[in-house]
């Protein structure tokens, strides 16, 4: 039985307007692309500041090294979670992926506040110097967040705000990791509160702005 010519004409007209869709890279590969940008910034900072001050601080206070490792793990896992949440059908449980790294980051940083001795060659940051840390984390998080949102725009996150929060967490954790290269101070309550405030600001801004940018109307 032949089909209605009008139906066939409609199908042909709709098909003529279709454009090929480029397949998205898998989440782990897009995470790697984003991490390469973070690594490039790290190389520039290492060339300028060197590794000696950072390694000296870590050698004198091992909790600082563990906190830095936690920040790196948080950045990697949060980025992976963000890109995975951008794939339709993926469970929102991926948002829990950064939790182990974040617990290590927070726990090791908290241990630093309990110490009464300082790492060799370091000093406690003043409130003004802690504010510089906040500016550093927020400033570096802006381009890192923009890059990740751009990489996510071609995807279709069904939970855009949750994905944007993972973007903010990944960018803030990566910026805190980069700060370790040029951070000359030991862990202190004021310093850690400033870092926490910076992370909160970045996550909140991404939830507000990034959530809108990732929403398809």
How much is the pLDDT for 17? 59
pLDDT of amino acid 210? 77
| Residue 137: per-residue pLDDT | 93
pLDDT at 1: 43
Q: What pLDDT was estimated at residue 84?
A: 94
Rounded distance between C-alpha atoms, residue 194 and residue 124, angstroms: 13
Instruction: Give me the half-sphere count of Cα atoms (radius 13 Å) on the Cβ side of residue 31.
Output: 21
Q: What pLDDT was estimated at residue 2?
A: 47
pLDDT at 175: 96
Residue 38: C-alpha distances to residues 42, 66, 117, 130, 174 (Å): 6, 19, 32, 22, 7
CA neighbor of 178 nearest in space, from 50, 31, 39, 30: 39
Q: Collapse the DSSP code of 123 into the 3-class scheme (helix H, G, I; strand E, B; otherwise coil) and give the result.
A: strand
Average confidence (pLDDT) per 10 residues, the chain, 217 residues: 60 60 80 96 95 85 87 97 89 95 89 57 55 89 94 81 94 94 68 84 90 69
């Amino acid at each position: 039985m032949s089909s209605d010519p009008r139906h066939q004409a409609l199908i042909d007209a709709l098909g003529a307007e279709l454009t090929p869709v480029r397949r998205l890279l898998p989440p782990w590969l897009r995470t790697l692309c984003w991490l390469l940008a973070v690594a490039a910034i790290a190389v520039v900072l290492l060339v300028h500041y060197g590794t000696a001050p950072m390694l000296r601080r870590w050698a004198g206070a091992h909790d600082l090294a563990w906190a830095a490792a936690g920040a790196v793990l948080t950045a990697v896992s949060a980025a992976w979670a963000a890109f995975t949440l951008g794939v339709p059908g993926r469970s929102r449980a991926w948002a829990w992926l950064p939790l182990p790294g974040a617990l290590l980051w927070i726990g090791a940083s908290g241990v630093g506040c309990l110490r009464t001795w300082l790492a060799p060659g370091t000093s406690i940051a003043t409130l003004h110097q802690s504010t510089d840390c906040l500016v550093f984390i927020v400033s570096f998080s802006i381009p890192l967040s923009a890059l990740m949102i751009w990489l996510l725009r071609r995807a279709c996150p069904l939970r855009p705000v949750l994905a944007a929060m993972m973007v903010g967490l990944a960018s803030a954790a990566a910026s805190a990791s980069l700060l370790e290269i040029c951070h000359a101070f030991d862990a202190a309550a004021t310093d850690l509160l400033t870092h926490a405030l910076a992370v909160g600001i970045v996550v909140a801004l991404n939830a507000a702005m990034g959530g809108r940018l990732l929403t398809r109307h």
